[in-house]
Structure 1
Amino acid sequence: MANVARETAHGESGLDIQHGTKHFRAGALLWLPRVRWDPGHGRWPAVGRHRGNGRRYVNMVVRAHDLENFRVKGVYSEALVRSLNGYEHDPAAPRTLQNPWTRERAQETADSWNQPREPVRIDGHSHPWISVPNPPPAELQIDGETLHLAHYGTRGAHYSRTPPLVEWTPEP
């Protein structure tokens, strides 16, 4: 499970800061079921209580960077189990999760998601399978090639294959 981030970035260059998301308030608890289908890079299915109606659980697809504080927590509500199971729900076993993760695997995954990572662009091309820690290192080794940090901004770390220019200073 995770919480919706207090502040989420939207709009061009992420300059529009909002509290929570359109469907979930800031700090709302969201449960992340095992992915049955791929909603796209950086988007995950989630189950939580909607901003407009706090009594019912809804299934939505959320952006991964709008979530924070990932952790493992037990599920005891029949309504929540029904929402997490989706079409695989078995009415004969209303409190049984279908295809659950082991606690160890879930904890390892939550710990890895809590590490802040930044997307990488190399010479103007996005590489979604590569990420770097925040703040990014000045040099990055990929497949024996040294990449140099050219720019770091709101869209992640931009690396270049060419080394940075060195200023020449005359000797006195």
Structure 2
Amino acid sequence: MAETGPTEEETPDGLLGWCLVASVARETARGESGLEIQRGTRHFAAGALLWIPPVRWDPGHGRWHAVGRHRGNGRRYVNMVVRADDLENFRVKGVYSEALVRSLNGHEHDPAAPRTLQNPWTRERAQNWADGWNQPREPIRIDGHSHPWVFVPNPPPAELQFDGEILHLAYYGTRGAHYSRTPPPVEWIPET
């Protein structure tokens, strides 16, 4: 079995582990149909660095547990659940702070081992997640039904093959690409 951790030559002094991080998006959509645009989120300023520990529990579709410095108190780390759509610029960073380790560990933190991440990322796994989330992609709906785990690039293709069927782009709106199994009507052009 190959070693997944960094070798001694790659490990910077004081490194306690690797973590997936992201920045809070400059503009986030809120309100009905996402038409209200605001800077950052209620708890985090635009551009704030959020540390994302590996999933321990599922906070709901499209939501992640994150650790960052709160908008109102920039000195302490807080644990929050954030929408994945409110994050951008995913990357991997090293963890060097015991306070950050304590926040990332949450209730699993062991005071006897304050410098030990309880559920660490490997550098490669975190980088794979970052690469996947940095790809521009849109959720799809097929004949009015949501398919939250299927994504298409932005802009979406006019035709998509899914489960052996050819789907046709019906329209592209604020909630993603809407596909139909019915082909679009052929435009009638009168003969002159």
TM-score range, shorter chain: over 0.9
- The counterpart of 2:105, out of the listed 85, 88, 100, is 85
Contact 2:53 2:121 survives alignment (8 Å):
no
- Aligned ranges 1:1-172 → 2 under 5 Å: 1-172=21-192
> Could you tell me how far apart the structure 2 residues matched to 1:116 and 1:92 are?
43
Cα distance in structure 2, aligned partners of 1:167 and 1:72: 50
- For residues 23-77 of structure 1, the C-alpha deviation after alignment (integer angstroms, 9 at most, x for no partner) is 0000000000011110000000000000011111000000000000000000111
Matched residue type, 1:134: N
Asked which structure has the greater RCO (Cα within 8 Å, sep 6+), the reply is: 2
- Output the amino acid matched with 2:97: S
CA positional deviation for 1:141: 0.4
Other structure's SS at 1:74 match: strand
For structure 2, list consecutive stretches of 5 or more residues without a partner in the other structure: 1-20
- For 1:106 and 1:35, locate their aligned partners in 2 and report how far apart those are by CA, in whole Å: 12
TM-score (norm 2): 0.88
What is the number of residues matched between the two proteins? Answer: 172
Q: Distance in 1 between matches of 2:137 and 2:51?
A: 21
Q: TM-score, normalised by structure 1?
A: 0.98
- Give the root-mean-square deviation of aligned CA atoms: 0.8
- Secondary structure of 1:35's match? coil
| Runs of 4+ with deviation above 6 angstroms | none
Please give the per-residue CA displacement for 1:121-172, whole angstroms capped at 9, x wherever unaligned.
0111111011111110000101110000001011100000100011111333
